[in-house]
Structures are given as C-alpha cells and as structure tokens.
Amino acid sequence: MSLRRALTVLAALAFVACTHTGVATEVPDLQDMRLAPAGEKIGAPVEVRYAIQGTVARGTSTPVALAIVPRAPGRLQVEFPATGNVAVSVDKAPLVVEKAAASVAYRYALHATPQGADSGMLKVIVTMEFGDARYFSVFNIPLGAATE
C-alpha cells in the first residue's frame, strides 16, 4: 500500500460513523440509482450514482450505495473529504483502482452520518489519471433530499 493510499484510508477511518444501523442493505441496480451532479470545471470523466438506503437523521448512520462509472479507462481514486458536516465510513475499498475500465461500475458501500442540524451534503472527490494528466471532480450528494 502506498503512503498516499494509506493516508487516504486512514482519513476515511477517522470519520467512522458513531451509530451504525447494522442493517444489511441490498446492492441497487445502476438504473435505480440517482446521478450525483458535478461542478462545471473540467473534471474526471465519470458518473457517480448513489442510493440512500435509510432514514437520514442527525447523528444517525445511514447506508449509502455508491457507484462510480468511468467514461474512459484510467487510474481511479475516490476520496471523501473531511468537511465536518457529514462523517463517512467506507465499508468496502478499494479507494484506488490502478486500471479502472470504462463503463464498469465500481461500487462502494458507505455509512454517512450527518453532524449538523441539517442533513448535510456528502461530498465525493473522484480523481482520474491518464498518463501525466490528472483530473478531479467534486460530487455533492444531498443526504436530506433523496431519502428512499
């Protein structure tokens, strides 16, 4: 494990949710998952889809299914930045895929715990590398607006 990857994993573990529900969740079909909006900077050529699989409440851990689908093959890295609004634990890595393929869904099972009065925004940073070039996109997943 590279130092960078180790630090990324440690950062994710540092935000382990405080009250996991422990409820087993199904892996949703891709077409049943919502598209997370990206910003307008040139970004990583990926789609991020998500499904919130529980009731969102402050201080309560909610399962979130995430799928990242590259539009081009390259090195894929996923990061959940420490924003203070939402604590995130990742039930499954890899957070780095050295040779991600186009049109393949890389799935992640998360638990997100809103920390503030409102439901908060789960932020996902996806980075893709193509040789010397590296692009990133920030995806904002509104935890409060998409309870299913």
Partner 1 sequence: MRRNATPWNAADGVLAACALILAGCGGGGSGGTPAPPPSVTLTAAVGSVTSGAATTLTWSSTHATSCTASGAWSGTRATAGSESTGALTSAATFTLTCTGSGGSGTASATVGITTAGPVSVQGVITYARVPYLTGNGLDYVNSRQEPARGITVEVVNAATQVVLATTTTDATGAWSVSVTGSTNLFVRSKAEMVRAAPAPLPHWRVRVGDPQAALLTYAHDGPVFGSGAGTVHDVAIPSGWDVSRVPVGTRASAPFAILDSLWRAMQLVLSVAPDTDFPALDVDWSTANPGGDTFYSGGGQPKIVLCGEANVDTDEFDPSTIIHEFGHYIEDKFSRSDSIGGPHGFDDLLDPRVAFGEGFGYAFAAMALNDPVMRDAFGNQQGQTARFSVDASNAQRRGWFNESSAQELLWDFFDPAGEANDNVALGFAPLWAVLTAEQRTTAAFTTLFSFVTKLKERAPGVQPAIDARVAAEQITAAGMDIHGTNETHVPPNTAQVSDVLPVYTPIAIGGGPVTLRTTDAFDPGANGNALSVSRFLRFAVPGTQNVRITAAAALPNHDVDIYVVRNGVIAAQGTTPTDEDFTAALPAGDYVIDVHDCGLAGCGNVATGASDITVTIAPN
Assess 65 for contact with partner 1 (CB under 8 A).
Answer: no
Q: What angle do CA 20, 125, 68 make, to 5 degrees?
A: 75
Residues 6+ away with beta carbon under 8 Å from 78: 68, 95, 96, 106, 108, 124, 125, 126, 127
Q: Does residue 135 touch partner 1 according to CB under 8 A?
A: yes
Is residue 79 at the binding interface for partner 1, with CB under 8 A as the rule? yes
Q: Which of 65, 123, 142, 143 binds partner 1 (CB under 8 A)?
A: 123
| Amino acid identity for residue 100 in this structure | A
Of the two residues 28 and 43, which places its CB atom closer to partner 1 in the complex? 43
Provide, rounded to whole angstroms, the least separation between the CB of residue 67 and partner 1.
13
Among 130, 144, 145, 148, which residue sits at the site for partner 1 (rule: CB under 8 A)? 130
Considering the complex, state which of residue 55 and residue 103 has its C-beta at the smaller distance from partner 1.
103
71: left (phi over 0), alpha (psi -120 to 50) or beta: alpha
Enumerate the β-bridge partners of residue 140: 123
* Strand (E) or helix (H) holding 133: strand 133-142
93 is a contact residue toward partner 1 (CB under 8 A): no
101 counts as binding partner 1 under rule CB under 8 A:
no
Binding segment toward partner 1, per CB under 8 A, in 16-24, 92-100, 112-120, 131-139 = 131-139
Q: Which listed residue (52, 96, 128, 143) binds partner 1 by CB under 8 A?
A: 128
Residue closest to 109 by CA, chosen among 53, 72, 59, 63: 63
